[in-house]
Structures are given as structure tokens and as C-alpha cells.
Amino acid sequence: MFERSGGMFKNVYPREKYLKKIRPFYDSDIIKVITGIRRCGKSFILKAIMNELRSRKASESQIVYIPLDRRGYKNIKTPEQLETKIESMLGDEEIQYLFIDEIQNVTGFESVIHAYAEEGYSIFLTGSNSYLLSDEISTKLTGRYLNFETFTLDFAEFLEMKKFFDKPINEDMYVEFEEYVLNGGFPKTLEFEDVQARQTYTRGIISEIFEKDVKTRKRISNVPVYERVQSFLLNNYASPFSLNNLLECLEKEGYKTKAATVRGYIEDLKKAKIIYECNRFDLKSKKALRREQKYYLSDLAIYFAMNTDNRLSFGPSLENIVYLYLASHDYQISIGKIGKMECDFIVRNKMGDYAYIQVAYTLQGEDIEATERIKEREYRPFRKIRDGYPRYIISLDKFRDKQEGVHHINAIDLFLGKEVL
């Protein structure tokens, strides 16, 4: 429970990573839309912003907070009811801040929100990704809103939040990192000491997404096929994807469906932010490729919660976490195709600068020959790249391997800000 003290929300960990992106727009009439997978902490971010505004001496009557999924607000279903509620809470101050959580619960809310934005109100919204990221809201609010995508806790936030709530932190960061990989970054899981309880909570999130996001937006014609498609993607994260292979798998298991149906289900999983799609980019032709893309999980806890096998495979797990790190730092990401070889990631930052990244659990083999084979596999794609953009190998090794102008970075140091790209 989040108690209020002097108007402030207590026990709210301020996620500076996102607050610094939103802060320049606190007093703007541009609508701030905060998206992300369910339970990733969007409501916490709203509360943290309200706390900041109060610390800046904003009065209580300047801040209107309407959590539409909470008792006392659940009966607000129409634009008229929403407007009536807002009007009953407004003060007389010139600057007004309007926070609405789970906005999709009000059908046709856009007209009301647009009207208040036109009058200069600073508006913050959270809600269902499948609706807030849909084409229809983009059309209705064109030019009037910014989307701030949020993710579950990254490793640095995971440690910071443990410290914030006085949780013990192991001095060995590798021990903490393994816990983070297995238990994931959904903020509420830090309340549970038991692994089974954390996994039960995560499975509940996936069920909630299906019931509240997917089913409410689209009639699922074949739930068993949808669940099998979801299972296939979760179990093959960070691997090259083939629609034909998935269709063959479904046919062998006795599921009857069409390619268009499966594509639709994959789109549903993407819109719900359960998975992220990463396409290939051919360095020779300079074209994006629409085949053999990879899918990454929004949080690895989803994989471990939905499977009985909890053995940790650091290769794909580390690649997935690196992808989320890059995405949450606003890099544009592709998989590099270099002839018959692959570079794990080609990334571009906001300045338009590129970099090439290989991700490996370790460059250290069981013996000298094995080590040389691993290094050859990881360095070989870089030799085919002719431009001068930087190249990185990210691994969990404690040593640094320096050769061929490639920067070797320790993943944990990168995630904790001790290394930068």
C-alpha cells in the first residue's frame, strides 16, 4: 500500500531513468503517454512525478489524480462521467496537472483529454498498450502527445530499488546478477522472498495481459493456438524466427490455423509488450530484411515463470538483457547480416552514430583451443565490416580481451554505468 503523508506518496522509488526524459515536459500542454508491459511500474512513475511537483510547491488543488482501476473510480466509463469527475476535482489555479491511470477504461476518452490539452492542462496518461499504441489513438491525438516507453527494472534499478527498500545486497555482483536474471525486474516481485511466489505473480501478469489487453481488443478465435504461439516465442527468445517453422510445428501438434492468424497473434504479443521484434539489416544492400527476425522478452522472469525448467542459459539470457538495455536507452536496434555471418546488434543512437555489438557469455573456453575458437567466432563478423564505427564485444568475463580495435566490455559494468558504449 502507498500511504500519503503531507500530500506525498510514501515508498515510491523514483525511476530517474524515465523521470529525466519526462521532466522537460512537466508544464507542457503536450499529452504525456506512458506505456510499457503491465506491472512494469507506470503507476509508480506517475506517483513519482506528482511527488516532484509537490516538492516544487505545487498545491494539492493543482494536481488531479484519477486511478480508473481503483475503488471509487471504477464506475467512470464514459467521457461525460470522466469530465464530471475531473471538474469536481479541479482547483482555481492557473496551472493544472491531470494524471489518469488506466485511461482505456473510458471508451472515447480522447475528446475529453484533447479538450483539456487545448486549454493548456498538463496531462499524464497510462493504460493498455494495445489501445494506447493503436492506430486509432495515433489518429485522434496526432501531434498532441509524446509516448514514453517504460520497461521493467534494469539491473542498476534492481539494485537501487533493493537499497531503497533496505533489502540485503550481496557484495558479489555476479550473485546479484544471477538473481536478477532468474527473478526479473517486475518491481513488485521484490516484495516476495520465495521464488515460487515471484513466479506465480509473473504468471498472473501474463494472464492479466491476455484477459484485459488481448481479449478486450480482439476476439481470439482459437485460444489454444494463441497460447501455443505464445509458448513457442517465449521458449525460442533470442533465436532466429521462421513463420514456416512455427506453422509446421503447429500442424504436427494437431493445431489447425492460418498464417494470417498466427501473424495476428504475434502482433498481439508485441502490442502487449510481452515480446519485442528485432529485424535483420543487410549491410551489403543496406536494406531491412523481413525474415529470420528475432524476438526478445520484455522480462526474462516471463520465461522462467512459464517453464518448469529453471536452468539458466546465460548466452540467450545475456543477449536478451543487452537488447533491453539498448532499447531502454533509446537506441535503434537491428541484427546485422554480413554475407552468411551475423552481428548480434547494429545500433544507432539519437545523434545518428552507429556501433556494432557482439554478445557472448564468455570468451574463455575450457582450454586454449576452445578459447581461440570462441574468439574467432565472435571477432569474425567484425572483419567483414568496412566502415570505421566502433565495435564492441559484451560478455561477463572479468578480463578484457584487446585485439583488432574491438572494445571488450564487461556486461555488469555496462549495466551499472561503469562502462559506456
Instruction: Write down the domain spans for the chain.
Output: 4-149
Per-residue model confidence (pLDDT) at position 148: 94
CA distance 108 to 137: 10
Written as one string, the DSSP assignment of 281-335 is EETTTTEEEEEEEEEEES-HHHHHHT-S-----HHHHHHHHHHHHHHHTT-EEEE
Q: State the virtual CA torsion across 378, 175, 48, 332 in degrees, nearest 10.
A: 10
pLDDT confidence of 382, banded at 50, 70, 90? very high
CA distance 153 to 37: 12
Average pLDDT over residues 176-185: 94
CA distance 190 to 131: 29
CA distance 393 to 356: 9
Average pLDDT over residues 261-272: 93
Q: Which amino acid is at 4?
A: R
Average pLDDT over residues 173-194: 94
CA distance 173 to 397: 13
CA distance 335 to 333: 7
Per-residue model confidence (pLDDT) at position 132: 76
> What are the cell numbers at 306?
512459464
List the Cα angle 270/272/278 in 5-degree steps. 25
> What are the cell numbers at 348?
544507432
Per-residue model confidence (pLDDT) at position 53: 97
Cell 550473485 found at: 175
pLDDT beyond 70 at 310: no
Per-residue model confidence (pLDDT) at position 2: 43
CA distance 418 to 67: 38
Per-residue model confidence (pLDDT) at position 171: 97
The 3 state secondary structure assigned to 357-385 is: EEECCCCCCCCHHHHHHHHHHHHHHHHCC
Which residues, other chains included, contact 392 with Cβ-Cβ below 8 Å and sequence gap of 6+?
A: 355, 356, 357, 358, 406, 407, 408, 409, 421
pLDDT confidence of 135, banded at 50, 70, 90? low
> What are the cell numbers at 29?
500542454
pLDDT beyond 70 at 10: yes
User: How far does the chain reach from its first CA to its final CA, in angstroms?
Assistant: 39
CA distance 154 to 144: 30
Contacts by 18-26, CB closer than 8 A, 24 or more apart: 18/45, 18/148, 18/150, 19/45, 19/48, 19/49, 19/52, 21/148, 22/49, 22/148, 23/52, 25/122, 25/146, 26/52, 26/53, 26/97, 26/122
Average pLDDT over residues 172-193: 94
Mean pLDDT of the chain: 92
Map residue 68 onto helix, strand or coil. coil
Average pLDDT over residues 127-152: 80
Map residue 200 onto helix, strand or coil. helix
Per-residue model confidence (pLDDT) at position 273: 93
CA distance 283 to 269: 29
Of 220 and 66, which is predicted with more confidence?
66
> What are the cell numbers at 127?
493504460
User: Considering the domain 4-149 in this protein, what is its CATH number?
Assistant: 3.40.50.300
Per-residue model confidence (pLDDT) at position 141: 79
List the Cα angle 265/299/277 in 5-degree steps. 45
pLDDT beyond 90 at 74: yes
pLDDT beyond 80 at 4: no
Lowest mean pLDDT among 124-138, 194-208, 214-228: 124-138
Per-residue model confidence (pLDDT) at position 199: 92
Map residue 351 onto helix, strand or coil. coil
pLDDT beyond 50 at 335: yes
Q: What b/e string do you get for 110-134 counting C-beta neighbours within 10 Å, with b at 16 or more?
A: bebbbebbeeebbbbbbbbbbbbbe
pLDDT confidence of 1, banded at 50, 70, 90? very low
Per-residue model confidence (pLDDT) at position 136: 66
Length of the chain: 421
Q: How many CB atoms lie within 10 A of CB 421?
A: 17
* CA-closest candidate to residue 273, choices 83, 85, 104, 34: 34
User: Edge-to-edge, what's the strand order for the sheet holding 145-149?
Assistant: 63-67, 97-101, 122-126, 31-35, 145-149
> What are the cell numbers at 27?
508544464
Per-residue model confidence (pLDDT) at position 297: 97
